[in-house]
Amino acid sequence: MSSLRTHDDTWDIATSVGTTAVMVAAARAAETEAENPLISDPYARMLVDGTGAGVWNFMLDRDFVGKAAEIDAEAAAIFTHMGSYQAVRTKFFDEFFRAAADAGVRQIVILASGLDSRAYRLDWPAGTTVFEIDQPKVLEYKATVLAEHGVAPSAQRREVPVDLRHDWPKALVQAGFQVNEPTAWLAEGLLMYLPADAQDRLFAQVTELSAAGSRIAVETAPIQAQERRAEMKARFDAIREKFGMDDGLDVAELMYNDPDRADVAVWLADHGWGSAAVKSADEMRRLGRWALPSGPDTPGDDAFSYFVTAVRQ
């Protein structure tokens, strides 16, 4: 159970779970500006710059990993790995949406959208509507910043400002969602911030709203080894202190390490979806982005997330 979460907590882009959206956008910005990037997100940098980024500024410093390696080579490798993971994850789900669009799906729902810019940067077919569900202040921040930079969505974008722990299906329908049309859903960077029962409830609600032919893509919640996490936190803290970085929020403390969490691929298969799961570690290796050193203390592949995709039958 997370020690920093309550059943009715809320946040904006600068607090609690909202700060993790900045971290992810910073990783996308860094990847976009790197040599031979896996993805292109021209809006990530402007979204991060508007927040001040705080501790996540290190992700935008090309020299940071080299400097950190002088203090702790393994921790520096993990920083590299973190950024590469975000790039691989983004690419995987971008391709999921492209495949859904090619199959004729024109209704998109991004759950807990954060600073996701797919409604703006992907080449959506005419007639596509992208619904973004998140905390009101998070949605407001993103829309305001991009509008100030003259950026317009590439699809019809509809905000659904509601907490996923509340009656979001009602809010989604009120925003124009059509229950009888196939939908492509995305749950990326979300499940680790939900306890097990809330995860089950979320997928039950998605299933109820999904017409035949709907698709879903999910990043599962990774397994956390508590002793290893505590060790790495201490090592990262030493690096932050060395470089005078602002005290960072311990992201792991925002997550629910729930042993009762259902296997997403199995849950979906048991509830009318044809599902498949890919190890994120396998995707990282396939794309040449695995950065962790080998050794007895390196976590096994099952300690990392899976990317699950499914089609409603």
Reduced to 3 states (helix: H, G, I; strand: E, B; else coil), residue 295 is: coil
The alpha carbon of 196 is separated from its chain's Cα centroid by a whole number of angstroms, namely 18
What average pLDDT score do residues 9-16 get?
A: 54
The reported pLDDT for the residue numbered 129 is: 98
Q: How big is the chain by its Cα radius of gyration, in Å?
A: 19
Q: Which of 146, 116, 144 is nearest to 132 (CA)?
A: 116
Lowest mean pLDDT across 128-132, 255-259, 265-269 = 255-259
**Which position has the token pair 């396939």?**
286
Ranges of H-type helices in the chain: 18-32, 44-49, 64-69, 73-102, 118-121, 136-148, 168-174, 196-209, 226-243, 264-270, 280-286
pLDDT at 78 over 90: no
pLDDT at residue 298, as a whole number: 65
pLDDT band at 240 (very low <50, low <70, confident <90, very high): low
Domain boundaries, the chain: 103-312
The pLDDT confidence band at residue 70, using thresholds 50, 70 and 90, is confident
Q: What is the pLDDT of residue 231?
A: 61
Q: 126, 134, 122, 182: which is closest to 158 by C-alpha? A: 134
Average pLDDT over the chain, rounded to an integer: 86
Q: Please state, in angstroms and as integers, the Cα–Cα distance from residue 152 to each residue in 49, 156, 157, following that order.
A: 18, 10, 9
Sign of the CA dihedral running 203, 209, 212, 218:
negative
Would you say residue 296 has pLDDT above 80? no
Q: What is 103-312's CATH number?
A: 3.40.50.150
Q: How far apart are alpha carbons 132 and 161 in whole angstroms?
A: 8
pLDDT in tens, 132-164: 999 999 999 999 999 999 999 999 999 999 999
Question: With 80 as the cut, is the pLDDT of residue 301 above it?
Answer: no
Spatial separation of the C-alpha atoms in residues 70 and 205, rounded to whole Å: 49
pLDDT > 90: percent of the chain:
63
Bridge partners of 161, per DSSP, are 134
Q: What is the arithmetic mean of pLDDT over 84-94?
A: 97
200 close to 267: Cβ distance less than 8 angstroms: yes
- pLDDT: which is higher, 214 or 55: 214
198: CB partners within 8 A, 6+ apart = 164, 165
| Mean pLDDT of the region 244-249 | 57
Whose CA is closest to 17, among 28, 8, 9?
A: 9
pLDDT above 80 for 130:
yes
pLDDT at position 291 is 84
Evaluate whether 216 touches 273 at the Cβ level (below 8 Å).
yes
The crossing angle, in degrees rounded to 10, of helices 226-243 and 73-102 is 110
Place of tokens 């993103």: 142
Residues 6+ apart with CB under 8 A from 196: 256, 258, 260, 261, 262
Question: What pTM was computed for the model?
Answer: 0.87
Instruction: Measure the CA–CA gap between 22 and 219, rounded to whole angstroms.
Output: 18
Q: What is the pLDDT of residue 56?
A: 61
Residue 255 has pLDDT above 80, yes or no: no
Supply the pLDDT for residue 297. 60
Say yes or no to pLDDT of 197 above 70: yes
SS3 assignment, position 225: coil
The angle formed by the CA atoms of residues 231, 307 and 294, to the nearest 5 degrees, is 40
When pLDDT is cut at 50, 70 and 90, the band that residue 4 belongs to is very low
Q: Which of 155, 153, 172 is nearest to 163 (CA)?
A: 172
